[in-house]
């Protein structure tokens, strides 16, 4: 040890582990390094109980590999450093416009150095422990401002390009091949061994991806109770060897603080995340509760539980979980906290302004985050800030290291923004880079924008007949097919298609019910309240029920439903959209006050509803039709003409509204002709 004064040297002797011998002897057997670490442990209880124990372990080492202690490797055997793992962004598509989540941190004044972390090696009976070690190391490396960890989805795409199956393990050799394909400079390998019950040897190394030359090798010994501090030490040394500055490392919160001091709690957390990804939300929450019982301050575990509750649409429980996470800001780094604030603002309150604000702060911390850039673009588009959203989507495409194959959500989002801005030729350049379901969705949007209904019917028929089509593509295809049928005069077939699809329930079912309500409004027919709406207590469902009742002349029932929705406005006001105004306008119309109804609807029809993330709210097409109809009934045919003309425009229409264009156009042109 060294230091500026004797007191500093003495303090380092008491508190710091010695530098591993592998710094100067990389080929040293890891078992020997573990033994050396044990003999030098600061606490007597962590050291071997007797010299005879040390002799026995040395004898075992010599018997297994004669000559290792003299530095000569036995013939036919080479020591392979522990495996490195690809550090990931954890990106997951959530819908169209497609939301993406990103967790890798990469704030820097210069370009962060990309790193791939390979799968870790460990005892066959300790798969969960090995995986938890890997994820804990990833959490530590993710604190670095100078390292950019390559996300799993980019690695999987590169593996497919290299002809590797998704099921193969990312060994060190495969990781080097992927690193070469992605122009990544370093690969990190790791391993854990168990020399004795309750004792673990942790090993991590980094290698130059091109030459295979070892850059550094780090080892630590640990027990269950000292596992997290051991990973903290090993991560700090690894970051230093990969170019991180000591001051930056020391400025970060320690790993126990941004994760948990309990390795057992972290193991449960990792298993819970895996179960959540497999859609086993109850199992995931059970393990998260067990992790929180061990460490009640485990903010990340509270946050994941909040996301699970959102996925299950249990918003009251989600609020409690997020509040518990954000009540512990000291247990989150800035990037984690900002992203959690953003997702809570959107998912719980649909507070788009707050979500954009928090993602702005997040991107200051993580400027190279593909998911952060894409998600902010998503929320900007929902606010109607289409140019700003487009800039974020385009930047997200540029940041995607894995190429077009993994940039599909961002490419599609950029194309949709360009169509909404009336820039179809540019949109088609992005469309040409799409494949699979993303290409199908873009083709449906393009056909609806152009009014190519014969082509639209052909595309939509193929997609709706494909059982493997994702639900978000199937929704667009079903709506587009109904539009195409209406445009060729088969209104009855279009309505049957919509009514059948409405049985899906939830947000998707309400979108179809809104399409059915639109068909009744444009046709001038008022059918009975659909069964699914009678028991739907969600805010969008309650508002749609109120609209339906008002359209049928039941103003008392409509007011009762409206009051039920307004009771929840303080908590869920962001999800209302223009639903309250639409109900009030319908009630005014039912009472014969069409002029006041038209004046209430007109500004809403001009602004429109650009939010594609809330398809069960009243949309722009519907608002424009209601405004046109109200002005016509009020005797203002010039104003009615202006709003009917707007129905033919495609700019600033959300993609889910483009799918329904034909349902309106089939009637709007007839109305326009009559007005003229």
Tell me if 491 sits within 8 A of 461, measured CB to CB.
no
Q: What is the mean pLDDT of residues 168-188?
A: 87
pLDDT at 345 exceeding the cut of 80: yes
Distance CA 120, CA 82 (A): 7
Q: Which residue has the higher pLDDT, 443 or 313?
A: 443
* DSSP letter string, 129-146: HHHHHHHHHHHHHTT-SS
Tokens of 290: 């067990």
Is 87's pLDDT higher than 80?
no
Task: Tell me: pLDDT of 549 over 90.
Answer: yes
Of the pLDDT bands very low, low, confident and very high (cuts 50, 70, 90), residue 11 is low
Q: Residue 279: helix, strand or coil by DSSP?
A: coil
β-pairing verdict for 147-149 and 113-117: parallel
Residue 347 pLDDT class (50, 70, 90 cuts): confident
Query: What's this model's pTM, rounded to 2 decimal places?
Result: 0.77
Q: Residues 649-654: what's their mean pLDDT?
A: 93
With a pLDDT cut of 90, the percent of the chain lying above it is 55
**What's the confidence (pLDDT) of residue 581?**
97
120-127 mean pLDDT: 87
Q: What is the DSSP string of 229-264?
A: HHHHHHHHHHHHHTT--HHHHHHSPPHHHHS-S-HH
- Range scoring the smallest mean pLDDT among 39-53, 60-74, 100-114: 60-74
Determine the average pLDDT of the residues in 318-339: 90
**From CA 97, how far away is CA 615, in angstroms rounded?**
11
pLDDT one-digit tens code per residue, 493-547: 999 999 999 988 888 999 999 999 999 999 998 889 999 999 899 999 999 999 9
Omega before 284 cis (within 30°)? Answer: no
Q: Does residue 381 contact residue 610 with C-beta atoms inside 8 Å?
A: yes
Q: Strand, helix or coil at 148?
A: strand
Mean pLDDT throughout 73-78?
28
What per-residue confidence (pLDDT) applies to 69? 37
> To which residue do tokens 């962060």 refer?
112
**Predicted pLDDT of residue 446:** 97
Cβ-Cβ contacts under 8 Å for 332 (sequence gap 6 or more): 258, 299, 300, 303, 325, 326, 340
User: Phi/psi at 28 (nearest 5 deg)?
Assistant: -60, 135
Q: Is 93 or 36 the better-scoring residue by pLDDT?
A: 36
Give the C-alpha distances (Å, rounded to integers) separating 427 from 60, 456, 559: 68, 17, 43
- The whole-number average pLDDT for the span 481-491 is 96
Residue 547 pLDDT: 96
Confidence bin at 205 (pLDDT 50/70/90) = very high
SS3 330: helix
User: What residues pair up with 191 in beta bridges, in sequence order?
Assistant: 121, 203
Q: Which residues of 154-190 are buried (b: 16+ CB within 10 A; e: fewer)?
A: bbbbbbeeeebeeeeebebebbbbbbebbebbbbbbb
pLDDT of res. 77: 27
How far the first Cα of the chain sits from its last, in Å, is 92
Q: Which long-range contacts (CB under 8 A, 24 or more apart) does 452-457 make?
A: 453/483, 453/484, 453/487, 453/488, 453/662, 454/484, 456/480, 456/481, 456/483, 456/484, 456/662, 457/481, 457/484, 457/485, 457/488
Residue with tokens 């902010």: 376
The pLDDT of 156-184, averaged and rounded, is 85
Element (H, E) at 15: helix 6-15
Q: Which pair of structure tokens corresponds to residue 675?
A: 């007005």
* Per-residue pLDDT, 450: 96
The 8 Å CB, 24+ separation contacts for 510-514 are 510/536, 510/538, 510/540, 510/541, 510/544, 510/615, 510/616, 511/475, 511/479, 511/615, 511/616, 511/656, 512/478, 512/479, 513/544, 514/544, 514/615, 514/616, 514/618, 514/619, 514/622
State residue 91's pLDDT score. 23
633-639 long-range contacts (CB < 8 A, ≥24 apart) are 633/589, 633/594, 633/598, 634/594, 634/595, 634/597, 634/598, 636/595, 636/598, 637/675, 639/598, 639/602
Q: What is the mean pLDDT of residues 190-214?
A: 89
| Whether pLDDT at 299 is above 60 | yes
pLDDT-derived band at 16 (thresholds 50, 70, 90) equals low
The model's pLDDT over 418-468, given as tens digits with 9 standing for 90+, comes to: 999 999 999 999 999 999 999 999 999 999 999 999 999 999 999 999 999
In angstroms, the CA 379 to CA 45 distance is: 55
Instruction: Say yes or no to pLDDT of 67 above 50.
Output: no
- Is the pLDDT higher at 446 or at 648? 446
The C-alpha atoms of residue 112 and residue 105 are separated, in whole angstroms, by 10
Greater confidence (182 vs 342) lies with 342
Report CA 122 to chain centroid distance, whole Å. Answer: 30
CA distances from 619 to 491, 518, 581, 594 (A): 21, 10, 13, 20
Mean pLDDT of 108-119: 77
Has residue 68 got a pLDDT over 90? no
Rounded (10°) angle between helices 661-675 and 637-646: 150
What the block records as the tokens of 673 is 């002709």
For tokens 């582990």, the residue is 17
For every residue of 608-634, DSSP letters joined together read ----TT-TTS--HHHHHHHHHHHHHHT
pLDDT of residue 125: 81
Q: Write the pLDDT tens digit of every residue in 567-594.
A: 988 878 888 999 999 999 999 999 999 9
Put residue 588 in one of left, alpha, beta given phi > 0 → left and psi -120 to 50 → alpha.
alpha
Task: Answer whether residue 89 shows pLDDT above 90.
Answer: no
Q: What's the confidence (pLDDT) of residue 98?
A: 56
Question: H or E segment at 223?
Answer: strand 214-223
CA–CA distances in Å: residue 170 to residues 108, 119, 132, 154: 28, 6, 17, 13
- Determine the average pLDDT of the residues in 90-108: 40
Q: Residues 174, 168: contact at Cβ < 8 Å? A: yes
Q: What is the pLDDT, as a whole number, of residue 9?
A: 61
Helix, strand, coil shares of the chain, percent, nearest 5, are 60, 5, 30
* Structural contact between residues 503 and 532, judged by C-beta atoms closer than 8 angstroms: yes
Q: What does the alpha-carbon distance between residue 337 and residue 340 come to, in Å, rounded to a whole number?
A: 5
Angle CA 29–35–38, to nearest 5: 145
CB 13 within 8 A of CB 42: no
Of 544, 501, 492, nearest to 519 (Cα)?
492
Instruction: Please name the helix (run of DSSP H) or strand (run of DSSP E) that holds residue 557, with its range, or none.
Output: helix 555-566
Which residue, among 93, 653, 97, has the nearest Cα to 413 in the 3D structure? Answer: 97
Instruction: With H, G, I as helix, E, B as strand and everything else as coil, classify residue 72.
Output: coil
Please give the pLDDT value at position 96: 44
Strands 186-196 and 113-117: parallel
Average pLDDT, the chain: 86
pLDDT tens-digit series, residues 379-416: 999 999 999 999 999 999 998 877 888 889 999 999 99
Burial class (CB in 10 A: 0-12, 13-18, 19+), 71: exposed
Q: Which of 484, 534, 475, 481 is nearest to 509 (CA)?
A: 475
What mean pLDDT comes out for the span 43-57?
83
Give residue-wise pLDDT tens across range 133-163: 999 999 888 888 888 888 887 888 888 888 8
């Amino acid at each position: 040890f060294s230091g500026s004064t004797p007191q500093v040297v003495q303090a380092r002797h008491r508190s710091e582990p010695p530098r591993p011998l592998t710094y100067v002897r990389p080929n040293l057997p890891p078992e020997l390094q573990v033994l050396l670490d044990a003999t030098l442990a600061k606490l007597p209880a962590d050291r071997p109980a007797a010299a005879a124990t040390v002799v026995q372990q040395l004898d075992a080492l010599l018997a297994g590999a004669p000559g290792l202690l003299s530095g000569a490797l036995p013939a036919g055997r080479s020591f392979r450093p522990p495996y490195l793992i690809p550090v990931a962004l954890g990106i997951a598509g959530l819908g169209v416009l497609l939301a993406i989540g990103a967790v890798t941190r990469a704030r820097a004044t210069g370009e962060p150095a990309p790193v791939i972390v390979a799968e870790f090696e460990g005892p066959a009976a300790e798969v969960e422990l090995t995986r938890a070690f890997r994820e804990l190391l990833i959490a530590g490396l993710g604190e670095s401002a100078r390292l950019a960890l390559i996300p799993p989805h980019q690695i999987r795409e590169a593996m497919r390009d290299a002809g590797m199956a998704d099921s193969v393990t990312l060994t060190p050799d495969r990781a080097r091949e992927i690193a070469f394909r992605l122009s990544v400079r370093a690969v990190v390998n790791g391993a854990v061994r168990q020399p004795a019950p309750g004792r673990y040897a942790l090993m991590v190394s980094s290698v130059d991806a091109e030459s295979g030359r070892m850059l550094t090798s780090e080892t630590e010994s640990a027990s269950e109770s000292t596992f997290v501090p051991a990973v903290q030490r090993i991560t700090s040394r690894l970051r230093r060897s990969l170019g991180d500055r000591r001051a930056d490392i020391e400025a970060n919160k320690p790993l126990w603080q941004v994760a948990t001091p309990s390795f057992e709690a972290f193991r449960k957390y990792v298993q819970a995340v895996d179960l959540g990804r497999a859609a086993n939300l109850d199992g995931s929450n059970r393990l998260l509760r067990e992790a929180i019982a061990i460490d009640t301050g485990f903010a990340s575990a509270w946050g994941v539980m909040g996301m699970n509750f959102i996925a299950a649409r249990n918003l009251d429980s989600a609020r409690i979980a997020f509040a518990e996470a954000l009540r512990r800001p000291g247990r989150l780094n800035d990037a984690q906290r900002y992203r959690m604030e953003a997702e809570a603002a959107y998912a719980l309150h649909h507070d788009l302004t707050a979500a954009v604000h928090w993602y702005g702060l997040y991107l200051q911390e993580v400027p190279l985050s593909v998911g952060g850039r894409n998600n902010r673009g998503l929320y900007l588009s929902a606010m109607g800030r289409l140019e700003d959203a487009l800039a974020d989507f385009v930047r997200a495409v540029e940041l995607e290291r894995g190429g077009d194959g993994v940039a599909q959500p961002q490419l599609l989002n950029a194309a949709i923004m360009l169509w909404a801005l009336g820039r179809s030729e540019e949109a088609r350049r992005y469309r040409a880079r799409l494949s699979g379901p993303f290409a199908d969705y873009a083709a449906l949007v393009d056909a609806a924008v152009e009014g190519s209904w014969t082509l639209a019917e052909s595309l939509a028929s193929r997609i709706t007949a494909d059982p493997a089509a994702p639900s978000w593509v199937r929704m667009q295809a079903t709506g587009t097919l109904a539009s195409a049928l209406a445009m060729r005069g088969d209104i009855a077939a279009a309505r049957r298609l919509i009514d059948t699809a409405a049985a899906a329930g939830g947000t998707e079912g309400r979108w179809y019910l809104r399409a059915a309500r639109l068909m009744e409004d444009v046709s001038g027919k008022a059918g009975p309240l659909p069964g699914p709406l009678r028991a739907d207590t969600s805010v969008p469902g309650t508002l749609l029920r109120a609209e339906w009742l008002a359209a049928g002349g039941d103003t008392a029932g409509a007011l009762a439903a409206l009051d039920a929705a307004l009771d929840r406005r303080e908590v869920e006001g962001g999800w209302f959209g223009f639903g309250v105004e639409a109900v009030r306008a319908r009630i005014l119309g039912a009472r014969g006050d069409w002029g006041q109804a038209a004046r209430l609807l007109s500004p809403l029809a001009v602004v429109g509803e650009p939010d594609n993330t809330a398809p069960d709210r009243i949309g722009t097409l519907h608002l424009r039709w209601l405004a046109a109809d109200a002005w016509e009934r009020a005797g203002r045919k010039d104003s009615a003409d202006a709003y009917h003309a707007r129905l033919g425009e495609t700019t600033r229409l959300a993609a889910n509204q483009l799918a329904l264009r034909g349902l309106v156009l089939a009637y709007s042109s007839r109305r326009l002709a009559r007005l003229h």
